[in-house]
Amino acid sequence: MGRLVIVSNRVPDPRERNKPAGGLAVGLADALRGDQSTLWFGWSGRQVEADADPVPSLDTHGTVTYATIPLTPTQHRGYYQRFSNAILWPLCHYRLGLMDYARADWQQYLEVNRMFARVLAPLLKPDDIIWVHDYHLFPLAQALRELGVTAPIGFFLHIPFPPWSLFRALPPATALLDDMKAYDLIGVQTEEDAQNLWECLRVEGMTDPSRVVACPIGIDPVSFSEEARDAFEGPEVRRLRESLHDEPLIIGVDRLDYSKGLEERFHGYEKLLIRYPEHHRHVTYLQVAPVSRGEVEEYRLLRRQLDETIGRINGAFAAYDWTPIRYLTRPIARQTLAGFYRLADVALVTPLRDGMNLVAKEYVAAQNPDNPGALVLSHLAGAAPELDEALLVNPHDSDAIADALHLALTMKKEERKRRWNILNNEIRNTTAGSWARDFLKALNRTRKTSVG
């Protein structure tokens, strides 16, 4: 078996397992618990002024060697903050109005991808199989090919891919798609994404639809459910439970990001309080929303807006002994989170668009089978086709969110169990491990086809 080379924008620090990772790091860390020798290459998270290509730092833990490089402040801004997060991210989440394009950022993005290729290429061995992750690195395969790399290169997109009618609004749309043809295999989260991407690549002259596959990511449900059981007995869950006085808890957990539909979700909860006043002084909604990409303007605006909305709702509905919304913008430890999920009667997961959404799957995994909670899930999350026994809602419809919350809060145990059993089977069928294995198997097949 050749070595696996993973490339992602950010390489997680193996010593900081409890940091609020994004979904990509969580999914890959779960997928990597095998015995395959792996090189994981990407940005270290540090910024350093430099006028030459960086030298990678190597750090080996078990079978995984982490090779990381810093970025210069100029690269970080043009490639990461601007082109990746202020242009591609909104576009891929169908938010054209938030896309803030400038040609200089596109050039910086291409330049950083070429730099990644120049630094990575000398680390490669002939038998390697390369797996590139996410929208920061769309052009990487082409840049590696230009340096003579012939190994199989696969790509996985963790976020949605919009239809051509939307994607073509990106000024360098065709150049980007043209570069993507250098991948042997491209994986996306859902059938809808696969159709959209294939439609775009066909416009660019790709002829083989089997090179785009839907390959939904999962979690490690067995270990997460154990973590939840352990944490449930711990001091944090005890404190949270005692503070609730046997009253119901709704939980939301999201990076503080406009794609997660937080503002709309708070309006939905407000509608619950308006239309179903029987929940006053009983229900508590705990929203964990660690600050993310705080240096990007749109994220700062969102944070201010949420502060105001939550302050307004709490001010209007609170009693002197009851706060309707508890809101945390600091991250909490992963294990504690697992315990909180298990304690919560309802999870509220209502992104306006989401590649997959691992929180929905984590919530299911964390439940007590004898008395599981209910999941309210946006039908626009990539997880919705698999998790269609959740209470599916349109995240733009605050009345629908209120109705689903009321239904969830009053649902009989037998119905909760029936739904949870089906959901739990789903998340046990498609795990982080099976996702990585299925993708790499398909990628390996492309090598055989091109050799044979």
CB nearer to ligand GDG: pick between 42 and 54: 42
Q: Encoding tokens for residue 430? A: 């498609």
Question: By CB under 6 A, how many residues form the interface with ligand GDG?
Answer: 28
Q: Choose, by CB under 6 A, the member of 331, 339, 373, 395 that binds ligand GDG.
A: 331
Q: Choose, by CB under 6 A, the member of 300, 334, 396, 406 that binds ligand GDG.
A: 334
Closest distance to ligand GDG from the beta carbon of 383 (Å): 7
Indicate whether 91 belongs to the interface with ligand GDG (CB under 6 A).
no
CB nearer to ligand GDG: pick between 334 and 428: 334
Give the three-state DSSP class for 398: helix
Indicate whether 432 belongs to the interface with ligand GDG (CB under 6 A).
no
Q: What's the CA angle centered on 94, arms 88 and 97, to 5 degrees?
A: 80
| CB-closest chain residue to ligand GDG | 23
Question: Beta-strand (E) ranges in 227-291?
Answer: 249-253, 284-288
Question: What's the rounded Cα separation, in Å, for the pair 163 and 200?
Answer: 7
Q: Encoding tokens for residue 223? A: 């270990």
Q: Of the listed pieces 13-21, 206-214, 366-374, 389-397, which binds ligand GDG according to CB under 6 A?
A: 13-21
Amino acid at 30: D
Closest distance to ligand GDG from the beta carbon of 30 (Å): 9
Q: Is there a contact between 259 and 351 (Cβ–Cβ < 8 Å)?
A: yes
How many Cβ atoms from other residues are within 10 Å of residue 298's Cβ? 17
Q: Of the listed pieces 97-105, 106-114, 331-339, 384-392, which binds ligand GDG according to CB under 6 A?
A: 331-339
Q: Is there a contact between 71 and 47 (Cβ–Cβ < 8 Å)?
A: yes
Q: Of the listed pieces 17-25, 179-187, 295-303, 306-314, which binds ligand GDG according to CB under 6 A?
A: 17-25
Q: Choose, by CB under 6 A, the member of 30, 227, 362, 389 that binds ligand GDG.
A: 362
Q: Choose, by CB under 6 A, the member of 355, 372, 373, 395 that binds ligand GDG.
A: 355
Q: Choose, by CB under 6 A, the member of 337, 365, 405, 432 that binds ligand GDG.
A: 337
Contacting ligand GDG within 380-409 (CB under 6 A): 382
Q: What is the DSSP letter of 293?
A: S
CB nearer to ligand GDG: pick between 6 and 115: 6
334 sits in which H/E element: helix 334-343
CB nearer to ligand GDG: pick between 105 and 354: 354
CB nearer to ligand GDG: pick between 2 and 385: 385
Closest distance to ligand GDG from the beta carbon of 52 (Å): 33
Closest distance to ligand GDG from the beta carbon of 212 (Å): 17
Give the three-state DSSP class for 341: helix
Closest distance to ligand GDG from the beta carbon of 173 (Å): 21
Q: Choose, by CB under 6 A, the member of 354, 386, 403, 426 that binds ligand GDG.
A: 354
The radius of gyration computed from the CA coordinates of the chain, to the nearest angstrom, equals: 22
Closest distance to ligand GDG from the beta carbon of 217 (Å): 4
Question: What's the rounded Cα separation, in Å, for the pair 239 and 243?
Answer: 6
How many Cβ atoms from other residues are within 10 Å of residue 114's Cβ? 18
Q: Choose, by CB under 6 A, the member of 5, 6, 11, 24 that binds ligand GDG.
A: 24
Q: Name the residues annotated as catalytic.
A: 158, 354
- In angstroms, the Cα distances linking 325 to 11, 79, 148, 252, 434 are 34, 37, 56, 11, 37
- In angstroms, the Cα distances linking 237 to 2, 234, 285, 336, 374 are 44, 6, 15, 7, 19
Nearest partner of 144 among 184, 117, 182, judged by Cα? 117
CB nearer to ligand GDG: pick between 4 and 159: 159
Contacting ligand GDG within 236-295 (CB under 6 A): 253, 255, 288, 290
Nearest partner of 261 among 110, 138, 400, judged by Cα? 400
CB nearer to ligand GDG: pick between 40 and 317: 40
Indicate whether 159 belongs to the interface with ligand GDG (CB under 6 A).
yes
Closest distance to ligand GDG from the beta carbon of 321 (Å): 27
Q: Of the listed pieces 8-16, 59-67, 309-317, 356-364, which binds ligand GDG according to CB under 6 A?
A: 356-364
Q: Of the listed pieces 50-58, 59-67, 304-312, 326-334, which binds ligand GDG according to CB under 6 A?
A: 326-334
Q: Is there a contact between 386 and 360 (Cβ–Cβ < 8 Å)?
A: no
| Strands laid side by side in the 212-214 sheet | 57-61, 64-71, 38-47, 4-10, 129-133, 153-156, 185-188, 212-214
Closest distance to ligand GDG from the beta carbon of 166 (Å): 18
Nearest partner of 43 among 4, 94, 79, 85, judged by Cα? 79
Question: What's the rounded Cα separation, in Å, for the pair 105 and 78?
Answer: 5
Question: What's the rounded Cα separation, in Å, for the pair 47 and 42?
Answer: 13
Give the three-state DSSP class for 362: helix
Indicate whether 132 belongs to the interface with ligand GDG (CB under 6 A).
no
Rule CB under 6 A: which residues touch ligand GDG?
18, 20-24, 26-27, 158-159, 217, 253, 255, 288, 290, 331-334, 337, 354-359, 362, 382
